[in-house]
Homo-oligomer: A and B are copies of this chain.
Amino acid sequence: MRLTAPSGIQDVARAAGVSTATVSRALRGLDRVSPQTRARVVAAATELRYVASPTAASLKSGKTGVIAVVVPYLTRWFFAHLIDGAQSRLSCQGYRLLVVNIGDRGAHRARALDHNLLAKRVDGILVLSADLDPPEVAQLHSLAVPIVTVGLDLPGCDRVGIDDVDAADIAMSHLLGLGHRRIAYVGGDPAHDVHIATAVQRRKGVRRALRRAGVDAEPGLFSYGDWTVRGGIDVGRRLLERPDPPTAVLAASDEMAIGVLCAARVAGVRVPDELSVMGIDDHELAFTHELTTVRQSVTEQGATAAELLLQWLNGTQAPQRQTLVLPTELVRRASTASPPARSPSRQGKGTARSTRSRAPSPEIARRAARAR
């Protein structure tokens, strides 16, 4: 009952009339301890408010019960949900979660990932869509603990993610299926997120859908944003100022799509009457803005990654060194519709082919419909 001296394993051993070894075994639920003995030990431990020192336990066992999650941002929707998913799974199994925020390129990164800060401190690592360069990856590997990633490939690591090519294809096909032909794409900058496949993959999906529909990919309608609302506003404004604005915009993230929506509002362009807008993610913002999008369950990706890591740590399952692909799904809302009847303000210097037919091809329609 005294608060002064936290009791140690010896105190419990004495109180229960057994050795420290038995206390340790009994309290950790190991076998080869008689029920009566265990009961006595547990009683004594409870009485003395004994809690094993995790530091001492780690020193001997080499296990810390801590998993590091490496992320570039904490506040963005995508990362907050990844962390949340991982956290819930990890805490169920008694693991604790250490947040490593490496931020957006810069001096902090080196410090955050410094070998010293993580060495011997964590049992495993979750890399959540963080764009690490080779030296940084090497640092993580030098820690010699299991690593599972979400959204990027790391040699020798399990990976969880969605099929980004397909997600973008689904989105684009939805717009094509509605009859749009002048569709702008606001992607992630592949020159920025060098080692993350997302930006590249989603653009690939966009091109695939266009190709299948027989629509030329006009370079002027492809632009980059920084995945944020603010970035979407900038790109959206530029697109709407064009002499031959698109009838639809697909953004690689909901946040950028919302930015485009804001730009349209400022420009007085009605959505979806004059402009269709859609994103990818199904962010909370997408719902409140009635944004059509392609849903991915980010929380589940985080949880799945954690699950893989735990299986590895428990020895239940060896690393498979391959990607676990989670599903995506088209979510239709009010921000997309068929393009306006052919307006007179068209036929700029744009595509050579331009629009050919209003009705979507059967293939496109089927594809656009399949996700739901």
A interface residues (Cβ-Cβ under 8 A, vs B): 3, 6, 49, 51-56, 58-59, 64, 66, 74-75, 77, 80-81, 83-84, 87-88, 91, 94, 96-101, 108, 111-112, 115-117, 119-121, 142, 144, 229, 258-259, 261-262, 265, 284-285, 287-290
**In contact, B74 and A87 (Cβ under 8 angstroms):** yes
A112–B111 alpha-carbon span in the complex (Å): 29
Contacting residue for A75 out of B58, B81, B91, CB 8 A:
B81
**In contact, B99 and A51 (Cβ under 8 angstroms):** no
A41 nearest CB across to chain B (Å): 15
**In contact, A115 and B56 (Cβ under 8 angstroms):** no
**In contact, A74 and B64 (Cβ under 8 angstroms):** no
A288–B59 alpha-carbon span in the complex (Å): 51
A212–B83 alpha-carbon span in the complex (Å): 45
A80–B284 alpha-carbon span in the complex (Å): 14
Contacting residue for A99 out of B59, B75, B97, CB 8 A:
B97
Answer whether A64 and B55 are a contact pair too, CB < 8 Å, given A284-B229, A288-B229, A288-B262.
yes
Contacting residue for A288 out of B99, B112, B261, B287, CB 8 A:
B261
**Residues in B neighbouring A97, C-beta threshold 8 A:** 98-99
**In contact, A288 and B258 (Cβ under 8 angstroms):** yes
Having A51-B115, A54-B121, A261-B288, one finds 12 other A-B pairs with CB under 8 Å, namely: A3-B142, A53-B59, A54-B119, A75-B77, A83-B99, A91-B112, A96-B98, A96-B121, A99-B99, A265-B290, A285-B288, A288-B289
Contacting residue for A59 out of B51, B56, B83, CB 8 A:
B56
**In contact, B101 and A98 (Cβ under 8 angstroms):** no
Q: Can you tell how many copies of this chain the complex includes?
A: 2
**In contact, A91 and B87 (Cβ under 8 angstroms):** no
A49–B143 alpha-carbon span in the complex (Å): 12
Interface of A is mostly: helix
**Residues in B neighbouring A96, C-beta threshold 8 A:** 98-100, 117, 121
**In contact, B54 and A120 (Cβ under 8 angstroms):** yes
Contacting residue for A74 out of B53, B54, B84, B101, CB 8 A:
B84
A304 nearest CB across to chain B (Å): 17
A237 nearest CB across to chain B (Å): 15
**Residues in B neighbouring A121, C-beta threshold 8 A:** 54-55, 96
**Residues in B neighbouring A262, C-beta threshold 8 A:** 288
**In contact, B88 and A83 (Cβ under 8 angstroms):** no
**Residues in B neighbouring A111, C-beta threshold 8 A:** 91
A77–B94 alpha-carbon span in the complex (Å): 26
Can you name 30 A-B pairs with beta carbons within 8 Å? A49-B115, A51-B119, A53-B59, A54-B119, A55-B55, A55-B58, A55-B59, A55-B120, A55-B121, A74-B83, A74-B84, A74-B87, A75-B80, A75-B81, A84-B101, A88-B101, A91-B111, A91-B112, A94-B117, A96-B98, A96-B100, A97-B98, A98-B99, A99-B99, A229-B284, A229-B288, A258-B288, A259-B288, A285-B288, A289-B289
Q: Which residue of B lies closest to A261 (CB)?
A: B288
**In contact, B80 and A99 (Cβ under 8 angstroms):** no
A229–B288 alpha-carbon span in the complex (Å): 8
**Residues in B neighbouring A87, C-beta threshold 8 A:** 74, 99, 101
**Residues in B neighbouring A261, C-beta threshold 8 A:** 288
Interface centre among A66, A74, A88, A100 (most CB of B within 10 A): A74
Answer whether A120 and B285 are a contact pair too, CB < 8 Å, given A74-B80, A84-B75.
no
